[in-house]
Amino acid sequence: MRTAGECGPPGYDTRPGAARGARAREAARQSVRERRQRHGDAAGGPRHGAAGPLVRPYTVTGGRTRPVDAGLDMISIVVATRESADAAALEPEHAAILRMCDRPVSVAELSAQLDLPITVVKVLLGDLITAGDVLARAPLPVSDTPQLDVLQAVLDGIRRL
């Protein structure tokens, strides 16, 4: 029986600092798998019209709200380091991200294409980055001052009009 302060799946230690790193990720993945096996994705769960079963964001992330790697922002660029064909062992959401990352793509674009909140995508990307399946980098910095030759070419083009 659970006490008032406990949350999470049975056997999940919720004390601060109790589970970190790989143990925490594996526990989260395992709890998601168990819930899916126990209830099924569509078995009796809430539905969203013709779209099918509704899966809550905290279910997708296993209850996690912060990514392992906090360096991601909306315009970070991510790209897969392995083939998406290798994604059979991954959770469906991880596999979908890996397929989309065959080419460089921003975190915001992933969020829009997957129709998932940006924080959920960051948590899932954190898992893939930790596993070495995805690389992330900040977008190329824009120089503070425009290049003189570009400005001159624009000015020359305007004068010719």
How large is the greatest C-alpha to C-alpha distance in the chain, in angstroms? 81
Q: Is residue 95 part of a domain?
A: yes
Q: Residue 9: inside a domain, yes or no?
A: no
pLDDT level of residue 103 (50, 70, 90 thresholds): very high
Q: Establish if 13 belongs to a structural domain.
A: no
| Helix 118-131, helix 21-39: angle, nearest 10 | 120
For residue 98, is it within any domain? yes
Answer whether residue 155 is part of any domain: no
Whole-number percent of the chain with pLDDT over 90: 16
Q: Residue 47 sits in which domain range?
A: 21-140
The dihedral built from the CA positions of residue 149, 151, 153 and 159, taken in this order, carries a sign that is negative
Is residue 113 one of the residues assigned to a domain? yes
- Domains of the chain: total: 1
pTM for the whole thing?
0.53
In a domain, 154, yes or no: no
Tens digit of pLDDT for each residue in 123-149? Answer: 889 888 888 888 998 877 766 667 888
Is residue 60 domain-resident?
yes
DSSP string, the chain: ---TT--SSTT---STTSS-HHHHHHHHHHHHHHHHHHH-SSSS--B-GGG-B---HHHHTTT--S-SSTT--TT-EEEESS-GGGGGGS-HHHHHHHHHTTS-EEHHHHHHHHT--HHHHHHHHHHHHHHTSEEEEPPPPPPSS--HHHHHHHHHHHHH-
